[in-house]
Copies of this chain bind each other. A is one copy, B any other.
Amino acid sequence: MNILISGMGLIGGSLCKALKKYTEHKVIGYDINSDVEKLALSENSIDQIFNGDYSNIDIIIICMYPEICEKYFYSIISKIEKYTLVTDVCGIKGEMSERLHQSAISHGVEYIPIHPMAGKEVGGYSNSSADLYIRANMVITPFEDSDRKKTEILSKISENIGFRKIVITTPQEHDTMIAYTSQLAHIVSSAYVKSPSLDKECGFSGGSFQDMTRIATMNEDMWTSLFMQNRKNLESELSILIENLEKYRETLQNNDSEEMKRLIKEGTNLKLENLKKRIGEPN
């Protein structure tokens, strides 16, 4: 198949490299930065720089920040062939994907959103890697009227480039879960570095501190957009976390060792159950 990757940052660049490394598909690359396009071609991360011709393109994978993705989508939707499958990798689905869905329907084009659950704390093509998706999770969120065969194509390609678990779900369920598994973690990490103690931590930390603060560096435009589009779900998860943290605080204030043991044991048991479920699962 001919696959156009639009936007070759960390996610798009890694898709290009992975498709080249693990499949026989023809990879066409587009980026707003022509230096990235040239570099990707010279590194054989793509077969061809996109020349503006949408004919003979089987799949377009849009790998841009949500707002830019939406604008780009509207700018190309009337130019593409009816057989072209369009997808995007945005970290939030919900309302935006419904708007794109309606736009796709009105142009007789199939659009099925995806979300590769992989990333790094650093972005851009220069940090992309052919193996970013090895053993990662892929979430595909077709609509009720989506073509099942097209969903299967996306699923198959995902498998081929290394994804181990592929979840097919609704955009709504995706957004609910992502608020917990990804967005909340980013907020915690961002808040964690705001203690005055940060300044003196060198020499006093081990792996826990690193794990807790690894993702504190975020692109504020992209993440604000992701957070705000999912703010009800995220606010709900954040409230649950704050409420739980307050229980530990109260227990410390009360100097209540028995209750602290119970709180810790409860967390241990939940995590152990979670680990059991994940045996053989990615990550």
Binds B, one of A22-30, A73-81, A152-160, A180-188: A180-188
A58 in contact (CB, < 8 A) = no
Interface residues of A (CB under 8 A from B): 117-119, 136-137, 139, 165-167, 174, 176-182, 184-198, 200-218, 220-221, 223-225, 227-228, 231, 234-235, 237-242, 244-249, 252-253, 255, 257, 260-268, 270-272, 274-275, 277-278, 281, 283
Given A194-B244, A252-B235, is A277 in contact with B209 using a C-beta cutoff of 8 Å? no
Considering the complex, give the chain B residue whose CB is closest to the CB of A168. Answer: B203
How distant is A127 from chain B, measured CB to nearest CB, in Å? 14
The reply to whether A238 and B209 contact each other, CB–CB distance below 8 Å, is no
The reply to whether A211 and B211 contact each other, CB–CB distance below 8 Å, is yes
Please name all residues of chain B whose beta carbon is closer than 8 Å to the beta carbon of A240 when the two chains form the complex: 194-196
Please name all residues of chain B whose beta carbon is closer than 8 Å to the beta carbon of A174 when the two chains form the complex: 204
Considering the complex, give the chain B residue whose CB is closest to the CB of A196. Answer: B240
The reply to whether A263 and B193 contact each other, CB–CB distance below 8 Å, is no
Please name all residues of chain B whose beta carbon is closer than 8 Å to the beta carbon of A278 when the two chains form the complex: 202
A207 to B278, CA, bound (A): 14
Given A211-B214, A245-B188, A260-B227, is A177 in contact with B200 using a C-beta cutoff of 8 Å? yes
24 A-B residue pairs with CB within 8 Å: A119-B208, A137-B205, A179-B197, A180-B197, A181-B208, A185-B211, A185-B212, A187-B248, A188-B212, A190-B264, A195-B237, A202-B278, A205-B283, A209-B283, A213-B271, A216-B267, A216-B271, A220-B260, A220-B265, A224-B257, A224-B260, A225-B257, A241-B245, A242-B249
A252 to B231, CA, bound (A): 6
Counting chain B CB atoms within 10 Å of each CB, the highest count among A190, A203, A240 belongs to A203
The listed residue (B177, B201, B211) touching A201 by CB distance below 8 A is B177
A193 to B277, CA, bound (A): 14
How distant is A88 from chain B, measured CB to nearest CB, in Å? 18
The listed residue (B187, B209, B260) touching A245 by CB distance below 8 A is B187
A188 to B187, CA, bound (A): 12
Please name all residues of chain B whose beta carbon is closer than 8 Å to the beta carbon of A271 when the two chains form the complex: 193, 213, 216-217
Please name all residues of chain B whose beta carbon is closer than 8 Å to the beta carbon of A167 when the two chains form the complex: 203-204
